[in-house]
Amino acid sequence: MAIDYLDYRNESKFSHTKDGKKVTRIVYIRAQDEIAVANDSDTPQRGDELNVSSGSIDEILYCDTVQIDTVKEAAGDEAESDLLFKVTAIFAPINRGSGGTTPVPNKATWKISGRPQGINVRNVEDEGDQTHYGPTGSAAEEYTEVTTGVNVNEDGPQGVQIDETVEVLTIDFWKEPDDIEDFLAAVRALKDRVNSGVFEGPWGSYAAGEVRITGYDVEQTSGEIATVSVEFSYAENLTTTGSSGNVPEVYLDTLGTTVETPKKGHQYLWVRTLKSTDESDDADTRPRAIDAHVATFYKEGDFDTLGVTDEIFA
């Protein structure tokens, strides 16, 4: 517990620096050793926030360095069996200058970008991962329903190249080196998964099924901080029906009408067409859309395990 002494009073010093405000806090703690001091509830921890707002201006400083020194003059104080330690903590703003951003433990930054991306779609894993739209019953006897392939012919699934511009969210998580292994295990468990629930933050809100983890990178930022960059690709759910809806519509010759084919962001819609072999009838030689499929290629995952909240963003 921190104890105030006449000669060793806790104090805070406020100063202005080139990149903003800085606060130095000094506290004195009685403890058996430095390990006990580091774990004391009154000892500031790297990454702790300090609100130095003035009026309508909000400014948060973060604990950047913590130094623990033994007060030798009081080391043998008869009133206490423990030693007296001086803890110096410096709170400073995050440096966002040309030299980059100063990392803070257990905080994060984010950015959004858009870029073209090509995807070759081939197969789904399980029969249940694909929804079929088209004729059923006796009307479907002429055409065998496809349940496991995209762009299938007599040689099997041929796939299709999809080119699209995707919105990419990148979050840089700043972690203590001791926390990297567990956090990276959580990221790896979610790679190529889509969010099972709402995923939201300062960038807005993504509904379930709209974001997928498409990449990650780990970098030793400094001796005490490591950065885990996680990339999320966004695709809008097309599931809203009605006059203002966004659900894709496909005309099927086998039904003689247009059908709605709702799909989530990272599902894929494809339509199978066949051409009649009877060349005597010009009307039958054109390709006919016989059925449509919405295929699920990416399983769901719980993105809450990443610990993304508004509070972590510096």
Name the phi and psi angles at 180, rounded to 5.
-65, -45
What pLDDT does residue 289 have? 80
- How far apart CA 71 and CA 74 sit, in angstroms, is 6
What pLDDT does residue 292 have? 87
Per-10-residue mean pLDDT, the chain, length 314: 60 72 87 87 84 68 85 59 85 68 78 73 64 68 53 63 80 88 92 94 93 89 80 92 81 84 89 69 65 89 93 81
| Residue 254 · residue 139 · CB < 8 Å | yes
pTM of this prediction?
0.63
- Locate the domains of the chain by residue range: 11-92, 108-116+165-237+300-312, 118-162+238-296
3-state helix, strand and coil shares in percent for the chain, rounded to the nearest 5: 15, 45, 40
Chain mean position to CA 217:
12
CA dihedral 213, 215, 219, 221 (to 10 degrees): -50
Q: Which residues contact 188 (CB under 8 A, 6 or more apart)?
A: 216
111 residue type, one letter: K
| Beta pairing, strands 60-70 & 83-92 | antiparallel
- Of the CA atoms within 13 Å of residue 226, those in its CB half-sphere come to 16
| Tokens describing residue 106 | 């257990």
| Residue 279 · residue 116 · CB < 8 Å | no
- What count of other Cβ atoms lies within 10 Å of the Cβ of residue 230? 26
Q: Could you tell me which of 299, 295, 300, 298 has the C-alpha nearest to residue 160?
A: 295
| Residue 30 · residue 83 · CB < 8 Å | yes
DSSP symbol at 54: B
What pLDDT does residue 74 have? 60
